[in-house]
Every structure is written in C-alpha cells, then in structure tokens.
Structure 1
Amino acid sequence: MAVLGATGCVGRAVCAAYARHGAQVLQVGRTPPPGCRDFLALDLAATAPAELTRILADAGVDTVVNAAGGWARSEELNRAHVELVHRLVAAVGAMPSRPRLVHLGSVHEYGPIAEGTSVHETAEVHPDSTYGRVKLAGSRIVLQAAQAGSVDAVVLRAVNVYGPYTNPASFLGMLRDRLRQAGPPELTVTVAPARRDFVDARDLAEAVVLAGRAPVTGQVINIGRGVAEDIRKLVRMLLETAGRRPDAVALVDAPVTSNGGAWTRADIGRARRLLGWRPRAGVQESITALWEQG
C-alpha cells in the first residue's frame, strides 16, 4: 500500500498504523525523513498521471491513502489540494488492479457550524475559507470519480488533528514550539473563545486502515471525537504538560479568525456504523503526545 504525504502528522500516523497491521508501506512525499526505508521522494502535484500509475503498479499497491497537502501557503493551496487530486484520481483510475483510495478531507469543507450542533455528512457545504474551498474541491473530485465507477474510493472528513508530530502550522503546534523555545520573559498567548472538535492522529490513522477495507465507496465519513473542546482548556493542559506554572503565561482574549469559526463538532455515527470505528485517545493522552513527540 502507499501513503501520500507520508512525512506529515497524519501521514506518519497512517504509516505506523499500517506497519502495526503487518502491511508493507510505500511512503511518498517531497523530502525523505532521515533513516527512512521504502520512501519515494516525489512532487505529486507535478507528476504526470501516467508516471504515477506506473509507480503504483510497479510497487503492487492495493491501497492508496492521500494525506498530502497539509497547511500549504495560500498560493500553493490549489496545487496541493486540487491539482494533486486530479492527477491522483486519473492515475488510480488507469490502474487495472483498481486499488482502494482513501482520501483525507477536512471538517472545514462544511463551512460554519451552528453552535451546539454536530455536523452530519448530509449537511449542505458552504466553506468560508480558501482552505475549506480547496479541500472541498479535492473531495468532490474523488467522490465524482467514485460515483462514476472509475475509482473505488472513500473520503474521510477529519476534524482538527493533534497528538504525535502535530503540525507546527496549527495553533497548538505553534504554541508547543513557542513553549520549547521561550525563556524569560514569560509568554503571552492570545486565545480565541472557540470550541473545536479534535481527533488524535493515531485514532484517525486507525479509521484510515478500516476505511481501506470497508465495503463502502463514494461516501463521506466524518472522523472526530464528537466533542467540542474549549481551546482555553487545551492551552492550559499543554502549559501544565510543559511544566509551566499557571501564572507564568498570560492568556489574552482574541477574536476568532482561524478556519472553523467559533464552533466545530462532528457527528461520527456513520464512522461507527460503516467502519466499526470509535476514537480511543483521551485529551490528556493526545496533549502529552503532542508535547513529547514532534
């Protein structure tokens, strides 16, 4: 099987999950990590579909996980999340073996979610950010190809991801790195009064493994914890895990300006029914992994 975007937070967790299940994993990304075996350095958005078809076929790939793209700079978002997916779907569709494609989408594809509600996969989508719009465009490419019968694919629409190797571009990832680098004077942290659904990268990876073999195609499946966590609570937990005194870091209110608005919570009933999946990692476990790994 192949994991595209293998060096990111989600990609690394997916590779580890498949390895635990005894699978041989072809890891694909732009830059190989030190000491990594079975890694293919490749710019997927610049690779011709025919070449990608050949690579995957030669490796005997039966499952492809698209965890590529990440939080690219704004000028690269379309390339990383739309052009790449166009090429990938064409490549996978041309393979005679019809490998399974698991595409990682985002809760931001839905757009604003009403406070106090859980968003279901049948909800209308109205993304209000560039990131949400390009992620939705990529998911639609996959879904349309699956519904046309040219690929066997499923889209996992994930909430905010944390845990091991949390992306340094995310709020919690940036705070972790600031805490590691900061000495006196002590930090001041601006925190928006938001509540967000978070899922541990390792739980998301297990959902990917289950989706890779589940008898379902052409559908969106939400992956989250189904809990809207107070961002201030997560910040306090990270500070405590980092060994900071509560009075050593000033928390300053800030308006909500990031993707997702003031509230996200996913309805994860479909994941339970179709994949037999449920989240396992507790918040403290994920915060500890965020601090200690990555």
Structure 2
Amino acid sequence: MSGERVAVIGATGWVGRHVCAALAAHGHGVVALARSPAAHLSGYPFHPVDLTSVRPRALAGLLRSERVTAVVNATDAANARDGWHRPDAVVHEANTTAALTLVRAVRELADPPRLVHLGTLHEYGEQPWGGRVREDEPARPRGAYARSRLIASETVLAAAGPGVPDPAVLRLANVCGPHPSPASFPGLLQRSFRRALAGERPSLRIAGDHRDYVDVRDVARAVVRACERGGGLVNIGGGRAVAVKDMVARMVEVTGVPADAVEQTQGDVDGFGGGWSLADVSAAERLLGWRPRIPVERSLHDMWHA
C-alpha cells in the first residue's frame, strides 16, 4: 500500500496526530480532516470537516477529489475540546451521526475507500475481574457514551458489501503516551505533576481499578496495518492490566516529584466500564500482524518528556 492516500478524520486529536505521523512514516500520503487546523498538521493537506454537520455527498466529493484509498475515523464525542461531561444526548448523537455520515459518504463513491474506525473497549461494558475480553464477547455497554460508541462501530462493520473493502473497527484500551488529551487520565496525571513542580499541591482521586493501557504510537501502528489489510473487529490493548495507583507511582519515578507532592485520595471515579479492563489481542496478531511494543513505563516517560 506504499504511496497510497489516507484521509484521517480527527487528525488534530491525540490519536489522530500519531496516526498521521505513522502513515507518513510508512510512505503513505495523508489528508488531514478536522474541525479546525493545528500546527502539527502543517505538513499535510488539510480540510475543515465536522462529521456531525457535513453532508455525506459533500464528504464523498472531498474524498473523491483527494483520491483516498482509506479513511480513518479517529473522532470521538468525548475529546479534548468538548470534554467528557457533555450531555448524554449530545454525545450519543455526535458519535452515531459521525459514523453514519461517513458510511453514507463512502457508499456514494464508485471506488469506495476502506473504512478504519476507532472504537473502545468500553463497548463491551463491565468485564469479569482477571479475565481478557475477546471480540466474540457480547457487548453490554454502560452509559450513553459507550452505547453510542457501540452503535458507531456496528454501523461501520455493517458497511461491508460488494465493491466495498472490508472495514476495520479497532476497539482501543485506555490510551497512554505523548501529547495526551487533557480529558484523559494520563493527561490529568501530566497536568497534576506539572502543577506539583510549580509548587502547588494538587489532589488526585485514585480508584482501585486495574486498566489496560496501550501506547498511542502502538495504536497508530495498528491503524496503519488496518488501512492495509482490513481486519474486521479487533481489540487493541497493551497486554496487561495496571493498577491506577501504580500509574501514579510510576509518574513519581519518571518526574522525580516527591510522592507526597501530589495528594492522593481514595474513591470511585466516573467511568464507562467496571474496575477491570484487559484486552485479548490475539486476533490483532493473527489478522494484522500487530502486537504492543511499548510498555506503560516507557509510555509515561515519553509522555512526560515529549
């Protein structure tokens, strides 16, 4: 697929910027689409696009004019600009409308590009403690956000048909690594420890959860493989469940900030799943030739020093 053109929708986001970089590093042309431009996209053709308001025919015309062979949907109604606390109805409409618009646009084209959609492990809902969730597990999402993400994933998977390349839906574990979204837990960690360095004493609420964290650059590698191969529904995770309190302890090691410089309080934290998440990634290895490479320790180190 070297030299092909890939449109990345949500290119200004945390995951999107790394997807653009990974595609370019593999010799693919990148067309960046987002609501507004950003400095790190200066090397790519850019088009302002909002999937919640653009008409499918207009999006189809843009994809046709750019001669793209794959489209990556890296948008998410809960993001750095809008945050995690938008009204449920707004989140639901944004996620589902984005997927439906994209599918309708692709179906307008005589030579449709492959669709690669980024979903989330939250679509499975609460997982049994100590287990690894597989793609054939029933999805029982909790809350409007996770339910809307499931609908979006199912919409993309249903786009397969005659003349349409097999789509791919990558259900991502919790993402970690450089340039985190401020709305994410890694973003909160980075912000809290920078405040501690500045002489403040921020407070962090720490749940007793164990979560699967995958580095954003490993995610980007998986997206490149999915653009090339399809793959259907595939889990993308880091390979182990890490206690939230251990994430904080590793940030102490990475930053050199004294452990007591950040006040840690115990308590439940709002989320979309249960207290445990861990992805079985054997399908990703089999279908995409992908495995996670970057451990959470290096991910946090690189995040801090980026």
TM-score after normalising by structure 1: 0.94
| 1:50 alignment counterpart | 57
1:79 is displaced (CA, Å) by 3.3
Q: Secondary structure at the match of 2:290?
A: coil
Q: Say whether 1:41 aligns with 2:48.
A: yes
| 1:193 alignment counterpart | 208
Q: Say whether 1:259 aligns with 2:272.
A: yes
Match of 2:218 among 203, 212, 215: 203
Q: Residue by residue, what CA displacement relative to the aligned partner does 1:201-260 show, whole Å, maximum 9, x if unpaired?
A: 1001101111111154xx210000221111111111113322211232232211243222
In structure 1, C-alpha distance between the alignment counterparts of 2:220 and 2:199, rounded to whole Å? 38
Q: Say whether 1:271 aligns with 2:292.
A: no
| 1:62 alignment counterpart | 69
Match of 1:16 among 9, 13, 21: 21
Tell me if structure 2 keeps the 8 A contact 1:106–1:158. Answer: yes
Letter in 2 for 1:62: T
Q: Residue by residue, what CA displacement relative to the aligned partner does 1:93-131 show, whole Å, maximum 9, x if unpaired?
A: 211112111010100000000101000000011101221
In structure 2, C-alpha distance between the alignment counterparts of 1:147 and 1:194, rounded to whole Å? 40
Moved beyond 6 Å, runs of 4+: none
Q: Which moved more, 1:112-121 or 1:242-251?
A: 242-251
Letter in 2 for 1:200: D
In structure 2, C-alpha distance between the alignment counterparts of 1:226 and 1:185, rounded to whole Å? 35
| 1:28 alignment counterpart | 33
| 2:160 alignment counterpart | 146
Tell me if structure 1 keeps the 8 A contact 2:9–2:74. Answer: yes
1:187 is displaced (CA, Å) by 2.7
| 1:101 alignment counterpart | 115
In structure 2, C-alpha distance between the alignment counterparts of 1:147 and 1:95, rounded to whole Å? 13
Q: Which runs of 5+ in 2 are unaligned?
A: 1-5, 80-84
Q: Which moved more, 1:57-66 or 1:254-263?
A: 254-263
1:278 is displaced (CA, Å) by 0.3
Tell me if structure 2 keeps the 8 A contact 1:45–1:80. Answer: yes
1:145 is displaced (CA, Å) by 1.8
Q: Residue by residue, what CA displacement relative to the aligned partner does 1:261-289 show, whole Å, maximum 9, x if unpaired?
A: 21000010100111110000121210012
Match of 1:115 among 124, 129, 147: 129
Letter in 2 for 1:144: A
Letter in 1 for 2:110: P
TM-score after normalising by structure 2: 0.90
In structure 1, C-alpha distance between the alignment counterparts of 2:158 and 2:230, rounded to whole Å? 18
Match of 1:245 among 244, 258, 262: 258
RMSD between aligned alpha carbons?
1.7
Q: Secondary structure at the match of 2:211?
A: strand
1:147 is displaced (CA, Å) by 5.7
Alpha carbons of structure 1 residues 232 and 147: separation in structure 2 relative to 1, 3 Å: farther
| 1:169 alignment counterpart | 183
1:194 is displaced (CA, Å) by 0.5
| 2:3 alignment counterpart | none
In structure 2, C-alpha distance between the alignment counterparts of 1:214 and 1:107, rounded to whole Å? 21
In structure 1, C-alpha distance between the alignment counterparts of 2:113 and 2:200, rounded to whole Å? 54
Q: Secondary structure at the match of 1:117?
A: coil
In structure 1, C-alpha distance between the alignment counterparts of 2:272 and 2:162, rounded to whole Å? 31
1:41 is displaced (CA, Å) by 1.6
Q: Say whether 1:74 aligns with 2:86.
A: yes
Letter in 1 for 2:177: G
| 1:228 alignment counterpart | 241
Match of 1:181 among 192, 195, 200: 195
Letter in 2 for 1:38: P
Tell me if structure 2 keeps the 8 A contact 1:256–1:262. Answer: no
Q: Secondary structure at the match of 1:206?
A: helix
